[in-house]
Amino acid sequence: MKAESTKAKNKSVITLDLIELENTSTTWQEAVISSCMLLVKNHYVEQKYIQAVLKSVDELGPYIVIYPGFALPHANMEDSIWHTGVSFTRLLKPIYFPKRKDDPVNSLIAFCSDDSRSHIKILQKLAMIFRNEDLIDVLQKSRDKEVILNLITGNLEMEKT
Amino acid sequence: MKIATICGWGLGTSMILKLNIEDILKRNEIDAKVISWDAMSFKSQDADIIVAAEDFKQILEGNNSIVVLIKYITDMEEVEQKTLEGIKKFLEQDKKGDKK
């Protein structure tokens, strides 16, 4: 299956199929693979993308742990990316990355970019979410995939308490 | 003043860091250019200040730029405090003419 033939220009960056809320991974590798598999299964990236992500954590360290509890697995392997996409995986039990033994991670936001403008918009939204404790709380606790979908796509209006 | 952010691939975490720093510069009315680099190719580049996740400490050792290391790149308080410290250092060096 050639990448070109499956590129869908109107594909959404995130859908309900890309959200998993009760993942049973028990190691960081399993968790990273699970979160990236959501992108693979839904035709956003090829399988080899996962190897690139694992390799970058091995070689560069867990720089993808961007906020307490959250990791952002990603890689820039252009020839394996078909469309910009974001997946959200919440683990039932936290995992720990190497060299970050005091940093439990229970949410993974896997992200791939086809270098279009949409990836900057999504990153801006993620950056904004992490500035708001109420929104981070929603990401960590909500059991409603629709709520999480709306939050990441920026449609959720949160009233500040 | 040129500020560079680093990440493994130059498009994810370095971009989030870049967005956060641009915001901080705007709020503090500081004029600087922010660019994002990937960890593999940054050595051929030049910047006054480099802001990166702590994990990149080793590859940045011996670098001539002022290096700012961040634990959580989305933690605005941490990023703001450490980046402003780095900028202060740079401006002091610049004044003294010690800039390399």
Q: Name residues 11-40 of chain B within 8 A of A (Cβ).
A: 11-13, 15-16, 19-20, 38-39
At residue A59, the pLDDT reads 86
Query: Which tens digit of pLDDT belongs to each residue from A3-53?
Result: 444 455 678 889 999 999 999 999 999 999 999 999 999 999 999 999 999
At a CB cut-off of 8 Å and minimum separation 6, what does A25 contact? Answer: A31, A33, A34, A91, A95
Interface test with A, best of B5, B27, B37, B72 (most A CBs within 10 A): B72
In A1-75, at which residue ranges do the beta strands (DSSP E only) sit? 19-23, 65-67, 70-71
Asked if the Cβ–Cβ distance from A60 to B55 is below 8 Å, we say: yes
At residue A26, the pLDDT reads 97
* Number of residues that make up chain A: 161
d(CA B25, CA A140): 30
At residue A91, the pLDDT reads 97
> Amino acid identity of A67?
Y
At residue B41, the pLDDT reads 76
Burial A83-100 (b: 16+ CB within 10 A, else e): bbbbbbbbbeeebbbeeb
At residue A4, the pLDDT reads 47
What number of CA atoms fall less than 13 Å from residue A73's CA on the CB side? Answer: 30
- Decide: pTM greater than 0.90: no
d(CA A132, CA A117): 24
Confirm whether the ipTM is greater than 0.85: no
Taking the CA of residue B99 and the nearest CA in chain A, the distance in Å comes to 29
d(CA B18, CA B68): 13
With beta carbons less than 8 A apart as the criterion, state whether A138 and A8 touch.
no
Say whether residue A34 is in contact with chain B using an 8 A CB cutoff.
no
Interface test with B, best of A66, A86, A99, A112 (most B CBs within 10 A): A66
Say whether residue B91 is in contact with chain A using an 8 A CB cutoff.
no
Asked if the Cβ–Cβ distance from B11 to A76 is below 8 Å, we say: yes
Query: Which tens digit of pLDDT belongs to each residue from A95-126?
Result: 999 989 899 999 999 999 887 677 788 888 89
Instruction: Kindly list the residues from chain B whose CB atom is less than 8 angstroms away from the CB atom of residue A124.
Output: 19
At residue A161, the pLDDT reads 36
At a CB cut-off of 8 Å and minimum separation 6, what does A60 contact? Answer: B8, B39, B55, B56
Digit-by-digit pLDDT tens for chain B (100 residues) are: 999 998 877 678 888 999 999 999 999 999 999 998 888 777 777 899 999 999 899 888 888 899 999 999 999 999 999 999 999 999 998 888 755 5
At residue A155, the pLDDT reads 63
At residue A116, the pLDDT reads 67
Residue A93 confidence class, pLDDT cut points 50, 70, 90: very high
Strand order through the sheet with A70-71: A19-23, A85-95, A105-112, A70-71, A65-67
Instruction: Kindly list the residues from chain B whose CB atom is less than 8 angstroms away from the CB atom of residue A67.
Output: 72, 74-75
A74 is catalytic: yes
With beta carbons less than 8 A apart as the criterion, state whether B7 and B14 touch.
yes
At residue A35, the pLDDT reads 97
At residue B98, the pLDDT reads 55
End-to-end CA distance of chain A, in Å?
50
